[in-house]
Amino acid sequence: MKNKEEQKQHLIDMMKGDEELGLYDESREIKVEDIFNDEKRENIKKFIDEIKNPSEPNQALKDASQRLEQITSEQSKKK
C-alpha cells in the first residue's frame, strides 16, 4: 500500500508543477510552433511529401517483387 500512496503523491506533485507552468490554464493556446522546431517541421514536411509522392522503387525492389510473384505462382500450381 505504501507504494501506491507514493505514486499518488508523486502524481500530485507533478500536477502541481504543471499547474505552476500554466499547463492547465484554459486561456493558453498551444501552437504548432511551440511544439515543433524548424528541423522537426522540415522532417515532417518531407515525410508527408514522401507519402503523397512516393519515389519510384529501385531495381532491387522490382527484382524481389518478381521473385515473390514467381514463388507464389509456383506454389499455387503445386496445389
Whether residue 35 has pLDDT greater than 70: no
pLDDT at residue 33 in the model:
65
What confidence score (pLDDT) does residue 34 get?
65
Residue 68: band (very low, low, confident or very high) from pLDDT cuts 50, 70, 90: very high
Q: State residue 32's pLDDT score.
A: 64
Among 28, 29, 47, CA closest to 39: 47
Mean pLDDT along residues 36-46: 82
One-letter-per-residue 3-state SS of the chain:
CHHHHHHHHHHHHHHHHHHHHCCCCCCCCCCHHHHCCHHHHHHHHHHHHHHHCCCCCCHHHHHHHHHHHHHHHHHHHHC
Q: With cut-offs at 50, 70 and 90, classify the pLDDT of residue 30.
A: low
Every domain of the chain and the residues it spans: 2-67
